Structure 1
C-alpha cells in the first residue's frame, strides 16, 4: 500500500516524495503553525434535536404559508404548512404499521416534492431511511436492502417495478411496498397521508439514533452503509447554512439527486431550514434546466462539474434569460478554476465550490458567499466545528501548515460533529477510515494555504468519480471476472476527451475468446447502473500484479493515459 501511495503521489506535478523533501517554508520551526487547523469561523451551536424538530419545530404562521417545494415539471406547489402536515400524517401511518424506531425504510425515487414528504416522514416516525440510487438495478438495490435490513420500500411509480423485484429478492413483504404515485395493487403515499391515526410518542437520542443509511464506497471497495445520526445531519446544516448562503428569498433549483448526501443535506435540508423555495427536477436535461432557471426565476443552483462545463461552453446557454441567477455552487467532484471562471463571466454570477463526503454528512469545506479572495479551484474554508490535518500518507506524520504560501500536498483528515458513526456491520472498514483520535481519513490529497484555503489536488483512493458518482473498480472487476471468456480483469479511471474520469477495463481473455471491446461494454451495461458502465476497454496479455497478488494500478494508469 505504501508503494502504491508513493507512486501515485509522485504523479502530482512538482511533488517527489512528501517525506523526502524540505521546502524553504518548512525549514524553520518559527514558520510553522500547529499541525491541526480549525475553521476560521467560530463554532456554532448544535441543538440536541431530531432532524424534524430542528427543521420544522420553529415553523411560524408566516413561514407556514410560504412555498417550500415546487414541482418543476408541473408547477404544483407545496407550502411549508402542508409539507409538515403530510410528514406528520405519513409518520403516524408508518407507526400504525409497526414501522418506527429500529426499522429501516428504503426510499427509491428521483427528485420530486413528495420525496421530501417520504424522507422526513420516515425520520419523523423514528425509523431510519436508506436512500437508493434512482439508477440502481434490482440486483444492486436488493443488496442494499439486505445489508440494511430494510423492512419497507417507498418507491416512485416509474421505479416501482425495479423496487418490487428488489423487494422480492430481499424478502421485503409485498404489503410494505409503498408507491409515491398510483400503482395498481400497492398502497400509495397519498393514501397513507389521508389515513387518520393518533399521534405517536416517538422518543430517541438524536446523538446516537441513526437517521439515514446512505451507501458509499468510502475510500475503496464495495458500497457500505454509512451510519449517520440525527445529530450528524443537524450539525452539518448548522455548520454549512451560513457559508452556503441560501436565504428565504431564494428559489433553489434541485437537479442534483436528493438520494445522494449532497442533495439530501445541501439542497433539501438546508433549503428547508432557510425557508427557501425548492424547485425540483427529476432528471438533468440541459434545455429543461435552462428553461426552469428562466421561467421560475431561479436564483441559486447546486451543480456538479459536468453541468459547469455545459454552462461555460454550450451554445444553448445563450438562448435563455438567466439573469435571475446570482449563485452557482459546485460540489461532488473538483471543479477546475478556469471552468468556474468561465461560468462566472458568462452568467454574471457568483461561483462557489465545496467539498465533502457521505461519511461527513457531507460538508467539511465551502467557499462562503461574497468571498472574492478565494481561488475558484479551491474548495474554500473549513466549516465551523471541524478540525483538519494534512498528513504524509506514507508516514502518517503531519505536514506543516505555512504562515505564508501553500502547504505540501497530503491526505486530508477531518474531525467534527458531522462525522459518521461508522460503516454498518463493517468494523474493519470503519477502523480503516476513522482513527483512534476521531479523524476521518478522506483518501483525498489536499493542500492548505496560510489563509486556510483548502484545495483538492488528487486522490489517494482507488475510486473512480464519474460525474460525481463513485464507481468502485473492485465491483466492476468482480463482475467482469464472472464472464466465461475473461481470464483476468482490472479497472482504473482514465480521463476521456471531454475531461471526464471514466471507468476503463484492461482484460486478459481466455485463449479461444471472441469478445470484442463493444461486446464487453454492452455486457457490463446490462448488469450495472448507467454511471458504472465500462466506457473504455483494452485487451492486454497480462494484468500487472505485485508479489502478493494486488493489481499494480500505477502501471495501468501509465498505460491507460497513452490510449
Structure 2
C-alpha cells in the first residue's frame, strides 16, 4: 500500500535555490542572518544579499558559469553561506567537501565532481592548495589570505557586472554532495534546484521558522542535513543562524544560553553527550523551544535523559542525501503527542511504501519492510553512475536501504539499515536494537554492533564498547542475554576508546569491520 502525508500536497516554487531562500532578504533588512559563534562576525540579511551578488559577479569574472562545479571546503561560518549562494547565482553548482579529509581524499572528490574552482577556509587552505594543484583546478579561493590562493575578499571586491545565468531550476544541478560511504565508495548525489526548493517548502509546512528564531548550526553545512534543514531553512524563514565550527558540550551549552537559541539541531552523539554533560542546569535555556535529531537512529533512553536536562522535547526526523534530505518529520504541534524514537509522518507531497527486501511486494500492514519513498525532493540520480541510479530508483520509488514500520497511529519507526542486518542461523538481528539495549547499561558510554563470522551461526553480533567505569565483557554479554531473544545475543565484546563516526553521527561500520 502507499502511505501519504496527512497534510495536503504543496506547489513547488519555480525558482532557483538562491531566489527562493533569499527572496525576502530585503524585507528582513539589517536583522542578523548569520552570526559566528566564535568570532562574533555578523552578516545582516540586506548585506548577505549584497555580498552574494558581488560574489557571483566576481566568480563570473573568473570564468565561473553554467555547467561548472565549484567545491566549497570549510567549517561552519557566515562566509560559507555567501560563497554557496554566490556560486549558485553565477549559474554553477556546489560540491561540498569535508575539511577533515586528507589531501588525497579531497583531490579524489574534486576529480570525481569535475570541479574547476575550490573555495576553502583559511584553516584548510594548505590542504586545499595541494589537492587542487594535483587535480588541476583553475582557481583556489580562500576565506582570508594564503600565498597559494586568491582571497574571497578580492572576489567580493570585483567591479564586474552581475552575471545573467539562465538556468532551468527543474533540470540544473545545484548541489553535488557525496554520500557518506559508510557501506561502500562515496557517490556524487545530483540534487537540482527544484529538489532543494521542494524540500525546503515541504519542511516549512511542519516546522514554521520565523524571524524571531535563533538556530544553532553546529552540524556541518557540507552535509545535506546542515545545508538544507539548518542553514537554508533558517535563511528562508528570516531566522538568525548561529554558526559553530564544532561540537563541544560546554561551549555549545554556553552558546545556547548566550544567544537565546530557540531551535537546536542534533546528531545522536550530541544527544548522548548532553544527556551526561555537567552543568546543563546552570545555563538559562528557557528560550529553547524545539530540538530535532537526525542523520542516524537515536536511543530512546538517551533522548529522554537529554530532553529532561535541556527542558525541551527532542524529536527525530528522517531523510537521506538522495532526498535532499527530508522525507519524514514530527510537526511542531505534534511534538507532545509523538513518542521519542518515532520519525513522525511523511512530509507533504511525499509518498512511501514498505516492501519485502529484494522484491516489489508490499509487506502486510504493521510489518517491517524496506522503506521506499517518492516525491519532488528525490535526486536526479548519481553522478556518472547509471547502474547505481537504476538500482536505487525503480520507477518513481527511491530505495532507502532502511527497514521501517508504521504503527497503528500512522507514525513511522526506523528499525535498521537493510545492509547492516546480521543474519544468525537465518534469523535477522538489527544492530540498532542491540545498541539501544547496551546503552541502557550504566557503564556503557557508547557502542556499535556489527556482524562477524561465526562458526555455528554463520554470522553473529559483536559489540564494540566504550566503557564508563568498570565493566567485564562476559558480564555485559550476560546482561544483554537476559534482555533479548537467544538468537540476538551478543557473542563477542571488544572495548575501545571511541566509536568511529561520520560528522553527522553515523556509525562507520565498515571501519569496525576492517578491525574485525
Q: Deviations for 1:356-385, whole angstroms, at most 9, x for unmatched residues?
A: 000000000011113122111101110001
Identify the residue that residue 163 of structure 2 maps to in structure 1.
200
Question: 2:400 & 2:279 partners in 1: Cα distance?
Answer: 37
* Structure 1: gaps of 5 or more residues: 1-34, 402-406, 474-489, 500-520, 540-559
Distance change (3 Å), C-alpha of 1:125 and 1:494: farther
Asked if residue 53 in structure 1 is aligned to residue 31 in structure 2, the reply is no
Distance change (3 Å), C-alpha of 1:43 and 1:285: same
CA offset at residue 493 of structure 1? Answer: 8.6
Tell me if structure 1 keeps the 8 A contact 2:217–2:241: yes
CA offset at residue 162 of structure 1? Answer: 1.1
Question: 2:378 & 2:181 partners in 1: Cα distance?
Answer: 13
The 5 A counterparts of 1:399-438 are 399-401=363-365, 407-435=366-394, 437-438=395-396
Question: Which has the higher relative contact order, 1 or 2, with Cα contacts under 8 A spaced 6 or more apart?
Answer: 1
Distance change (3 Å), C-alpha of 1:253 and 1:493: farther
Identify the residue that residue 116 of structure 1 maps to in structure 2.
81
Identify the residue that residue 87 of structure 1 maps to in structure 2.
52
Question: 2:513 & 2:419 partners in 1: Cα distance?
Answer: 22
The 5 A counterparts of 1:334-349 are 334-349=297-312
Identify the residue that residue 144 of structure 2 maps to in structure 1.
181
Tell me if structure 2 keeps the 8 A contact 1:219–1:443: no
Among candidates 386, 403, 406, match of residue 448 of structure 1: 406
Distance change (3 Å), C-alpha of 1:462 and 1:145: farther
> SS in structure 2 opposite 1:224?
coil
Among candidates 124, 144, 147, match of residue 109 of structure 2: 144
Among candidates 346, 361, 364, match of residue 397 of structure 1: 361
Among candidates 100, 107, 111, match of residue 72 of structure 2: 107
Question: 1:244 & 1:494 partners in 2: Cα distance?
Answer: 37
How many correspondences in the alignment? 452
Among candidates 176, 187, 206, match of residue 213 of structure 1: 176
Question: 1:223 & 1:311 partners in 2: Cα distance?
Answer: 30
CA offset at residue 166 of structure 1? Answer: 1.0
Distance change (3 Å), C-alpha of 1:182 and 1:532: farther
> SS in structure 1 opposite 2:279?
helix
Question: 1:238 & 1:98 partners in 2: Cα distance?
Answer: 32
Tell me if structure 2 keeps the 8 A contact 1:252–1:300: yes
Question: 1:318 & 1:206 partners in 2: Cα distance?
Answer: 47
Among candidates 378, 395, 400, match of residue 342 of structure 2: 378
Question: 2:410 & 2:125 partners in 1: Cα distance?
Answer: 47
Tell me if structure 2 keeps the 8 A contact 1:352–1:368: no
Tell me if structure 2 keeps the 8 A contact 1:352–1:369: no
Tell me if structure 1 keeps the 8 A contact 2:35–2:78: yes
Tell me if structure 2 keeps the 8 A contact 1:68–1:272: yes
Tell me if structure 2 keeps the 8 A contact 1:215–1:224: yes
Identify the residue that residue 497 of structure 1 maps to in structure 2.
466
Among candidates 240, 245, 258, match of residue 208 of structure 2: 245
TM superposition score normalised by structure 1 = 0.76
Question: 2:513 & 2:183 partners in 1: Cα distance?
Answer: 21
CA offset at residue 533 of structure 1? Answer: 10
